[in-house]
Amino acid sequence: MNILVTNDDGIDSPGLWALAEAMSRVGDTLVVAPDSERSGSGTCFSLHSDTTVEEVPTTIPHVEAYAVGGTPSDCVVLGIRRLSGNRHIDLLVSGINPGGNMGRDIPYSGTVMATLQGHFRRIPSIAMSLAILTRDKKPDYSVAATVAEHLARRIEGGSLPSDAILNVNVPDIPMEEIKGIVTTRTAADGWVRLMPVISEGGTRFVSSTRAAGVDLPEGTDMWAVTSGRISITPLRMEVTHHEGIPLLAEHLPGLESDLLGRREHV
């Protein structure tokens, strides 16, 4: 199995290497990540600038790595089209992000949106995030890495659906405290919020996350994580509002008449 690993936090991110090591136990792993942090870059491409590629040494067996002077989407396209050589990429995994990617924050996530390039090419794709509930300790990526490994093995064995992006959020708690794994829908709210901090120097804004115990709709990604569960949300990037097509079509004859009638009088 040939696996492409990327992220938006950069080639030096501990979460990236925890994920790469886990994937190396499943198959041959190619790491292609930005050379610096590109958080929040979403679906951006470096269309009008040169993109650098530099090979990075790694001590993990069966893993080769490259740092790219571009966005996560650049990394995935280069990984699939160029850096993989003649190998077909069987699985794309992005992460492990040091923070949750849930609810309405998903479209801004470089971690999740990097998987679009695999999804569009019908490559099974997973976005892995560690939902940090408290900021007073160093993130532990081991549980999220183990989850990613088991998901990869099940996709390889054909026992897990792979026609949608799997957006996985793992609470940053020990394995023995995990209450289960649930399939979820995206919450209507955002996981990350900007909070004002007032001081003598003025007001500044810092990011914070939703607290455990806050009332959240059951069955959503944020509810799962704050209740100690691993959340897996299947995502499909279909942007057409199909239900709106017939409603819009009802109004088009009048619009067409107005436009054509105006043209005839010009």
Beta strands 229-235 and 91-98, pairing class: unpaired
Question: pLDDT for 55-107, tens place per residue?
Answer: 999 999 889 999 999 999 999 999 999 999 989 999 999 999 999 999 988 98
Are 187 and 222 in contact by the 8 Å Cβ rule? The answer is yes
- The region of weakest confidence among 27-31, 201-205, 233-237 is 201-205
The structure tokens listed for 194 are 């900007």
- Is residue 266 packed enough to be buried (19+ CB in 10 Å), middle (13-18) or exposed (0-12)? exposed
Q: Note the pTM of the prediction, 2 decimals.
A: 0.87
Band the pLDDT of 160: cuts 50, 70, 90: confident
Spatial contact of 198 and 147, defined as CB atoms under 8 Å apart:
no
Statement: 2-264 belongs to CATH 3.90.650.10? no
pLDDT at 213: 47
- List CB contacts of 234: < 8 A, sequence separation 6 or more: 161, 164, 165, 166, 167, 183
Residue 96 contacts residue 129 (beta carbons within 8 Å): yes
251 alpha-carbon distance from chain centroid = 38
155 sits in which H/E element: helix 142-156
- Cis status, amide bond into 132, omega within 30 of 0: no
Residue 40 CB-density burial (10 A; 0-12 exposed, 13-18 middle, 19+ buried): middle
260: CB partners within 8 A, 6+ apart: none
Q: Which two tokens stand for residue 7?
A: 């992220």
Residue 53 pLDDT greater than 90, yes or no: yes
Averaged pLDDT, 204-210: 49
> How many CB atoms within 10 Å of residue 89?
20
Confidence of residue 192 (pLDDT cuts 50, 70, 90): low
Segment 195-213 mean pLDDT: 53
Name which of 140, 168, 161 is nearest 232 in CA terms: 168
Closest CA to 155 of 120, 177, 123: 123
Least confident of 38-47, 116-125, 202-211, 213-222: 202-211
Between 263 and 107, whose confidence is greater?
107
Q: Please check the confidence at residue 44 and state whether its pLDDT lies above 60.
A: yes
Distances (CA, A) of 242 to 58, 104, 187: 47, 21, 21
Model confidence at 194, pLDDT cuts 50, 70, 90, reads very low
Tell me the HSE value of 164 on the side-chain side, using a 13 A CA sphere. Answer: 13
